[in-house]
Amino acid sequence: MFLTRISISQPVFTTMVMIAVMAFGLLGWRALPIDQYPEIDFPVVAVLTPYSGASPETVESDVTRLIEDELSTISGIDRITSTSSQGHSTVVVRFTLETDSAVAVQDVRDRIAEVAPDLPSAADAPQVVRYNPTDTPVISLAVSSDVMNQGALTRLAEDVIVPRLTAIGGVGSATLVGSVDEEVGILLDPDRLRAFGLGVADVAEALRRDNQLVSVGSLTAGSQTISVQINAEAQVVADLRNLIIAARSGEQIRLVDVADIRPGTSDPESLAFNNGRGALAIDVVRVDGANTVGVARAVEAAV
């Protein structure tokens, strides 16, 4: 009765209150964050271990089983699944929903630190990754060209596009799909190697020995200490061509004498297509708590 009596006796005041409530509601609605998923804690942890050159059977016996046996004693585990492929081991540990994901990740890291010394020396250090559904891209961009090759597109994306996108507020990362790295291919000629009495190991040793950045000490002048390094890394293809492999009868044998050196790009580890054509994709992932729609609009504006 109190509100009814005020509404009837003070119609102007009542109207102003209603307008104020609507205005605050509109402001709150515009500022309301929008997300694709609700905030749910998924206690799922993955252990990724690269083992270059190893067969799936070797990866299974030397890496995957050791990690599985070590992790199986952690409390709160619901299921452990693993995949052993050529040169890579993946072990996924799913905990019960009551388990705190931060605690689960720390427990897995502690156990991996204990089993790491038992892994093969040729295997890379295991990576412990926490599964997060918000890591899915909020927007994907495609970069293609009729005149630029994949290597030039990769340089353009790495040097220009990705730094600009990652500087946007709310963007956590921008990952390239279909990118390639520039590399120099050294195609050895077996006949020329035999003619000079050399083997593949001789060429590999010369590349390791004479193509590196070496620290040779430091110089101290008063209160300043300057590190001294010898940079013998090849800067251009011509440096590799003139690399001395060995000496026979006082004559220097260079890399160009036994091999063809060709600039090129690495084989792609992933592929991206735009309307059926090869392209370069950029997956943009937002930071936790950022407005999905706002981040997507900011990325589109930057593009």
Q: Is the pLDDT of residue 93 over 90?
A: yes
Q: How far, in Å, CA of 131 to CA of 46, rounded? A: 7
Q: How far, in Å, CA of 242 to CA of 257, rounded? A: 9
> Which of 88-92, 216-220, 253-257 is predicted least confidently?
216-220
**How many of the other CB atoms lie within 10 Å of CB of 119?**
19
Helices 2-9 and 11-30 pack at an angle, to 10 degrees, of: 110
**Amino acid 91: pLDDT:** 93
pLDDT in tens, 195-243: 888 888 888 887 777 766 667 677 887 788 888 777 666 767 777 787 7
pLDDT in tens, 155-182: 999 999 999 999 998 888 888 998 888 8
Q: Is the pLDDT of residue 2 over 80?
A: no
> Which has more pLDDT, 12 or 32?
12
Average pLDDT for 84-94:
91
Q: Is the pLDDT of residue 1 over 70?
A: no
Q: Is the pLDDT of residue 104 over 80?
A: yes
**Rounded percentage of the chain residues whose pLDDT exceeds 70:** 92
CB 4 within 8 A of CB 95: no
pLDDT in tens, 58-72: 999 999 999 999 998
117's CB contacts (< 8 A; 6+ apart) are none
Q: Is the pLDDT of residue 36 over 70?
A: no
**Amino acid 90: pLDDT:** 92
pTM of the predicted model over 0.75: no
CB 136 within 8 A of CB 36: yes
> Which has more pLDDT, 12 or 105?
105
> Which has more pLDDT, 223 or 44?
44
